[in-house]
Amino acid sequence: MHTSSSLFSPLPTSSTAPCPAPTAASSGLQNIKVDLLVVGASFAGLACARAAALAGLSVMVLEKKTSAGAKLHTTGIIVKDAVDSVPWLAEVPPALVRRIEGVRLYAPNMRHVDLHAPGYWFWATDAPALLDWMVDSARASGVDVRLGTLFEQALWMDGRWEVPVMHGPCITATYIVGADGPHSRVAKALGLSRNTRFLYGVEHEYQGARMAPDLLHCFIDRKLAPGYIGWALDGVGVSQIGLARRMGQDDANALRLAPLLKKIESVVTPGDAPPVAVRAGMIPCGGVLPVVARERALLVGDAAGMVSPVTAGGIHTALQHGERAGEAVARFVRGEVGDPATWFVRSYPRFLLKRSLRWAFDHFQSDWMFNHLLGTPQMRRMAELIYFHRKGGPLPKN
């Protein structure tokens, strides 16, 4: 992480304040002052906002969507490590989650191996409903969540951030946290690094799909999903089937689910009805970005590239580092520590091993290799390292 003084220098000041003094005509839209402004009602943003509010700060969240759970680009799988380390998740209503006990990993020739780890499981979630619940929980903790409100710019004025909002009051904030996704407006406005390396994903939700239950089914195929995988699982009230892949200049029409559905029809069938929902989007896969903070501002979650370069999982790190960011900002506002932009961001995961695995997968992915090595102890151990973080069981006796 860069720690040069230039990283933390304030933005150039403007001769015209973006938040003008209120007039009689604008008396209904008085300027609002907050300790922390979070942009993005994402997993990271809501965790950050809630933690800061619980620590006593005045906190506002701006979210451009009218519902935090609308138009999501995530499968919504939460690993057990997150459930164990993020106390907030203990409050999630049971109706929003479903346990997935293991992984069935398929080679390109459709041979498979089942992976389990003692005491380890995943949560499949109703991700839209979960995020909407998190908004309600954050509001109950004192956070002012403003949906349908677009962040466009922030200017540094006399030791504070001033954020004009169209059709709303101007916001003055001591600190800004950008948690607004892989194409972060905060990163652009504040001159921070932006994601440039992506996987492209599509997922359909079906009612009545058939597959072996309680498993995350993962399909390796270099032609259909170069650089990543296809997947299927019985989720909360629906079944989710999707794939993500690298996209080249000549791959504009390559992100289609139909070829995967045809290939896996012997083990996963969506049924005759069309999907009840479709989601698609871009997943950062380059690791944490080089410049994620400046004076009194930082990025968390997808905006910071805080996504595993191998598994594309980001909810765990988003919740964990979002929460810690909120606590760090609270300590700074209380005068207990220096600006978190100078020290907190150094704790962000570097994903060194997973970045190496991502590079190897991008350059040497081989269907032949997976067809011949999937059942070996070495490949099994590697898969358990990726899915369970070394929590796999004893090697099978061959």
Which domain does 284 fall in, by range?
Answer: 5-388
Residue 89 placed within a domain: yes
Q: Which two tokens stand for residue 375?
A: 């059942």
Domain-embedded: residue 283: yes
What pLDDT is recorded for position 19? 67
Q: Do the domain assignments include residue 393?
A: no
Residue 186 lies in a domain: yes
Integer Cα distance of 181 and 354 in angstroms: 21
The CA-atom distances, in angstroms, between 138 and each of 65, 110, 133, 142, 320 are 17, 44, 9, 7, 15
Amino acid code (one letter) for 94:
P
398 part of a folded domain: no
In a domain, 304, yes or no: yes
Q: How far is CA 132 from the centre of its chain?
A: 15
Number of domain units in the chain: 1
What lies within 8 Å, CB to CB, of 338 at 6+ separation is 332
What pairs with residue 38 in β-bridges?
61, 177
Domain contains 51? yes
CA distance 153 to 21: 18
The residues that bridge with 177 in the sheet, in sequence order, are 38, 298
Could you give the angle at the alpha carbon of 155 between the alpha carbons of 154 and 157, nearest 5°?
A: 140
Domain of residue 192, CATH code: 3.50.50.60
Residue 390 DSSP one-character state: S
Query: pTM of the prediction?
Result: 0.89
Query: Does residue 246 fall inside a structural domain?
Result: yes
Per-residue pLDDT tens, the chain, 398 aa: give them.
333 333 343 444 444 556 655 443 344 457 899 999 999 999 999 999 999 999 999 999 999 999 999 988 888 999 999 999 999 999 999 999 999 999 999 999 999 999 999 899 999 999 999 999 999 999 999 999 999 999 999 999 989 999 999 878 899 999 999 999 999 999 999 999 999 989 899 999 999 899 999 999 999 999 999 988 999 999 999 999 999 998 765 665 667 899 999 999 999 999 889 999 999 889 998 889 999 999 999 999 999 999 887 777 889 999 999 999 999 999 999 999 999 999 999 999 887 766 677 777 777 788 888 899 888 888 888 888 788 865 544 433 33
Cα 216 from Cα 209, distance rounded (Å): 14
3-state SS track over the chain: CCCCHHHHCCCCCCCCCCCCCCCHHHCCCCCEEEEEEEECCCHHHHHHHHHHHHCCCCEEEEECCCCCCCCCCCCCCEEHHHHHHCHHHHHCCHHHEEEECEEEEECCCCCEEEECCCCCCEEEECHHHHHHHHHHHHHHCCCEEEECCCCCCCEEECCEEEECCCCCCCEEEEEEEECCCCCCHHHHHHCCCCCCCEEEEEEEEECCCECCCCEEEEECCCCCCCCCCEEEEECCCCEEEEEEECCCCCCCCCCCCHHHHHHCCCCCECCCCCCCEEEEEEEECCCCCCCCEECCEEECHHHHCCCCCCCCCCHHHHHHHHHHHHHHHHHHHCCCCCCHHHCHHHHCCCCHHHHHHHHHHHHHCCHHHHHHHCCCHHHHHHHHHHHHCCCCCCCCCC
Comparing C-alpha atoms, which of 304, 347, 237, 324 is closest to residue 50? 324
Backbone angles phi, psi at 180, to 5 degrees: -105, 35
